[in-house]
């Protein structure tokens, strides 16, 4: 007798399942995808989306179409609660969905650490759709003859890339020197090699992007950011890029969570399976990998794709699971500087130039092509 697989979220780690729904259907199983939107945007291309380097259609997956084309049920909603003892999830739209096996790939969101960050002119870096709204807002200011003042809060890879790509967007639309600033906290890219950091500082400086090194934002008021030393910085658009928090928090429903004080993602073993509920799985930013915590970067959910697909089918069929072992050896990092240049880092190799950006674009487009459904590039936003 067939069983029911519930996919919560249409993120990177679920793409192999969505692309291979025919196998689940042939085995007699039914799949339901619950997602808050019809499309899932690829985070690696988000900064390029902001600057206009990519169109929306070029950096998103139509997960609804993937699901329905493969015979699955698509529900546009969010999971509000889960009762693991009854194998039931309750949704924001009031529905209750039962399952035999459930898998989460719901990503992460920036924490609301800054007072006033809920303002309409503040755009968290995730979900990626926020970058489209920010782009339109900035373009509206330029269309009225203005030059938007942009403040990026955070100094990680997302903060660096957003600053450079915001500068590119403004520079293409107005005659004034773009007014872009970064409040990176302790500094830019503090977890990365010193050579990468030097290149990042140089990249922003050569375009006149201000860096308030060692400072963060204490609060946001009406068009003004108050920094940790009391300095007041005017802005029209602020980007919130101060790290990420896995979503959702399932601890109150009895599901073991990892991270400091249990505030990380769903705690999973080497099989990407919940350590205390063996029919719940997960991948991407929303999990804490028990063997060792993984960086919240897109490479890991991409690598988890085939393992999660195998294990979800195996769990439905009662077969042996596959361990996720592709966590060693580091990963290739390429930062989109926003000016046609990229900063590449892998092991002892660090390089800045157009070739790095060309390689990043090639890799990203190849990944998109693997899971793109026909007609997506012709769709309207």
pLDDT at 259: 80
Tell me the pTM.
0.91
> How many CA within 13 A on the CB side of residue 129?
8
pLDDT at 372: 81
Mean pLDDT of 119-140: 93
Instruction: Evaluate if residue 173 carries a pLDDT over 60.
Output: no
CB 255 within 8 A of CB 82: yes
CATH topology of domain 4-107+244-317: FAD/NAD(P)-binding domain (3.50.50)
Confidence category of residue 347, pLDDT binned at 50, 70, 90: confident
Mean pLDDT of 352-357: 97
CATH topology of domain 122-243: FAD/NAD(P)-binding domain (3.50.50)
Mean pLDDT of 22-34: 96
Mean pLDDT of 336-346: 96
Instruction: Evaluate if residue 45 carries a pLDDT over 70.
Output: yes
> Which residues neighbour 165 within 8 Å (Cβ) at sequence distance 6 or greater?
47, 48, 50, 51, 53, 336, 338
Q: What's CA 226's distance to the chain center, in Å? A: 27
CB 49 within 8 A of CB 130: no
**Residue percentage of the chain with pLDDT more than 90:** 77
Mean pLDDT of 277-300: 90
Mean pLDDT of 61-84: 96
Pairing of strands 217-220, 224-227: antiparallel
CB 117 within 8 A of CB 240: yes
Confidence category of residue 24, pLDDT binned at 50, 70, 90: very high
Per-residue pLDDT of 193-213, as tens digits, reads: 999 999 999 999 999 999 999
Question: In whole angstroms, what is the distance from residue 216 CA to residue 196 CA?
Answer: 21
First to last CA, the chain: 40
> Which residues neighbour 73 within 8 Å (Cβ) at sequence distance 6 or greater?
30, 31, 32, 33, 67
Per-residue pLDDT of 214-254, as tens digits, reads: 999 999 998 999 999 999 999 999 999 998 888 888 989 99
The boundaries of every CATH 3.50.50.60 domain in the chain are: 4-107+244-317, 122-243
Question: In whole angstroms, what is the distance from residue 144 CA to residue 302 CA?
Answer: 41
> Which residues neighbour 36 within 8 Å (Cβ) at sequence distance 6 or greater?
76, 77, 78
**Residue 206 buriedness (CB in 10 A; 0-12 / 13-18 / 19+):** exposed
Put residue 79 in one of left, alpha, beta given phi > 0 → left and psi -120 to 50 → alpha. Answer: beta
Instruction: Evaluate if residue 174 carries a pLDDT over 60.
Output: no
Q: What's CA 301's distance to the chain center, in Å? A: 10
Confidence category of residue 380, pLDDT binned at 50, 70, 90: very low
pLDDT at 381: 44
pLDDT at 262: 63
- Widest CA span of the chain, in angstroms? 67
Instruction: Evaluate if residue 373 carries a pLDDT over 90.
Output: no
Confidence category of residue 376, pLDDT binned at 50, 70, 90: low
pLDDT at 35: 96
Instruction: Evaluate if residue 317 carries a pLDDT over 60.
Output: yes
Question: In whole angstroms, what is the distance from residue 54 CA to residue 48 CA?
Answer: 6
Tell me phi and psi for residue 82, to 5 degrees: -140, 140
Out of 20-34, 80-94, 119-133, 286-300, least confident range: 286-300
pLDDT at 106: 92
Pairing of strands 342-346, 333-336: antiparallel
Mean pLDDT of 179-204: 95
Mean pLDDT of 34-61: 95
| Ordered strands of the 73-76 beta sheet | 73-76, 30-35, 4-8, 101-104, 280-282
Tell me phi and psi for residue 91, to 5 degrees: -105, 165
Question: Mean pLDDT for the chain?
Answer: 91
Instruction: Evaluate if residue 378 carries a pLDDT over 50.
Output: no
């Amino acid at each position: 007798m067939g069983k029911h697989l519930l996919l919560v979220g249409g993120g990177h780690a679920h793409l192999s399942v969505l692309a291979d729904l025919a196998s689940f259907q042939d085995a007699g199983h039914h799949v339901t995808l619950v997602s808050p939107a019809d499309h899932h945007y690829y985070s690696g291309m988000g900064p390029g989306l902001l600057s206009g380097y990519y169109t929306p259609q070029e950096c998103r997956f139509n997960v609804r179409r993937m699901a329905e084309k493969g015979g699955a049920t698509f529900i546009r909603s969010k999971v509000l609660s889960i009762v693991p003892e009854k194998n039931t999830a309750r949704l924001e739209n009031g529905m209750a969905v039962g399952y035999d096996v459930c898998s989460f790939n719901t990503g992460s969101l920036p924490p609301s650490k800054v007072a006033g960050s809920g303002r309409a002119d503040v755009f968290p870096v995730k979900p990626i759709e926020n970058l489209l709204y920010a782009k339109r807002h900035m373009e509206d200011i330029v269309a009225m003859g203005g030059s938007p003042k942009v403040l990026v809060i955070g100094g990680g890879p997302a903060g660096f890339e957003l600053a450079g790509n915001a500068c590119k967007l403004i520079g293409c639309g107005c005659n004034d020197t773009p007014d872009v600033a970064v409040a990176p906290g302790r500094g830019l890219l503090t977890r990365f090699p010193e050579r990468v950091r030097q290149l990042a500082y140089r990249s922003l400086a050569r375009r006149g992007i201000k860096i308030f090194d060692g400072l963060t934002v204490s609060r946001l008021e009406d068009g003004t950011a108050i920094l940790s030393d009391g300095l007041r910085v005017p802005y029209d658009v602020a980007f919130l890029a101060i790290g990420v928090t896995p979503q959702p928090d399932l601890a109150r429903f009895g599901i073991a969570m990892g991270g400091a004080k249990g505030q990380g993602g769903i705690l999973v073993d080497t099989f990407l399976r919940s350590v205390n509920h063996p029919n719940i799985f997960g991948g991407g930013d929303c999990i804490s990998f028990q063997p060792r915590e993984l960086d919240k970067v897109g490479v890991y959910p991409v690598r988890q794709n085939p393992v999660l697909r195998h294990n979800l089918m195996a769990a439905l069929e009662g077969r042996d699971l596959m361990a996720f072992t592709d966590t060693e050896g580091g990963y290739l990092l390429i930062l989109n500087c926003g000016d046609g240049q990229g900063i590449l880092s892998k092991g002892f190799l660090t390089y800045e130039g157009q070739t790095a950006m060309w390689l990043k674009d090639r890799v990203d487009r190849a990944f998109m092509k693997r899971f793109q459904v026909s007609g997506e590039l012709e769709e309207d936003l």
